[in-house]
């Protein structure tokens, strides 16, 4: 029974390891072709908005007698219209998404700085301060280099995120393997 369970666990660990390697490769490809990745990301967001808009439209029609039908209808229209505009004007969508990301990071960085100073009496409050400063600087870099950074920024950031996800998955899988291997050796000896 123990060997069957360990075989299943080893399959999961191997699958996780392969997934991590594939994600790392995809992240490298995304960084190597940032303009394509940025356009792909923008188009994906457009598709999600359109799908969400139609989902909201269906919900609005199903609940039209429960109140707020006009607002639900307007909200679904906003989602659909925004998604269609991102499809029709992809470069404008990339510019807008990049500017929104910069604004988000500036706002997040400001809030983290405020939080850091509120937590100042506590130990390790400087980690939050450092995070706030870095986030604020990243947001400022996006804002001050906009619109010149828009074609490559989203694709590059997405690629970096995918690489880190892949590497962390690989490292966790290797760690799980090293923990399982002594258990396998013990099970085989018995």
Average pLDDT over the chain, rounded to an integer = 85
Q: Rounded CA gap, 161 and 154, in Å?
A: 10
- Give a three-class secondary structure readout of 9-39: HHHHHHHHHHHHHHHHHHHHHHHHCHHHHHH
pLDDT at 6: 53
Higher pLDDT, 189 or 178: 178
pTM: 0.66
Segment 162-178, tens digit of pLDDT = 888 888 888 888 887 77
Both structure tokens of 24: 């790392």
Tens of pLDDT, residues 86-139: 999 999 999 998 898 889 889 988 998 998 898 888 878 888 888 889 889 888
1, pLDDT greater than 50 = no
On the question of a cis peptide bond just before residue 96, with omega within 30 degrees of 0, the verdict is: no
pLDDT in tens, 12-43: 778 888 998 999 999 999 999 999 998 998 99
Q: Which helix (H) or strand (E) holds 116?
A: helix 90-118
Q: In this predicted model, what pLDDT tens digit does every residue of 35-85 receive, in sequence order?
A: 999 899 899 999 999 999 999 999 999 988 888 889 989 999 999 999 999
The continuous run of DSSP H or E covering 58 comes out as helix 34-62
CB 171 within 8 A of CB 154: no
Q: Give percent of the chain with pLDDT exceeding 70.
A: 88
**Cα 32 to Cα 9: distance, rounded to the nearest angstrom:** 35
């Amino acid at each position: 029974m123990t060997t069957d369970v360990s075989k299943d666990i080893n399959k999961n660990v191997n699958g996780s390891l392969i997934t991590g390697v594939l994600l790392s490769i995809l992240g490298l490809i995304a960084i190597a072709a940032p303009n394509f990745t940025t356009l792909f990301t923008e188009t994906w967001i457009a598709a999600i908005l359109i799908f969400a808009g139609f989902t909201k439209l269906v919900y609005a029609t199903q609940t039209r007698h429960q109140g707020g039908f006009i607002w639900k209808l307007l909200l679904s229209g906003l989602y659909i219209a925004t998604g269609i505009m991102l499809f029709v004007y992809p470069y404008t969508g990339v510019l807008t998404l990049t500017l929104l990301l910069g604004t988000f990071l500036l706002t997040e960085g400001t809030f983290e700085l405020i939080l850091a100073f509120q937590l100042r009496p506590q130990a390790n409050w400087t980690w939050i301060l450092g995070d706030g400063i870095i986030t604020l600087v990243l947001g400022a870099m996006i804002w001050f280099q906009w619109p010149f950074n828009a074609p490559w920024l989203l694709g590059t950031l997405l690629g970096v995120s995918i690489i880190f996800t892949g590497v962390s998955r690989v490292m966790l899988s290797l760690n799980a393997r090293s923990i399982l291997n002594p258990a396998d050796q013990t099970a085989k000896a018995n």
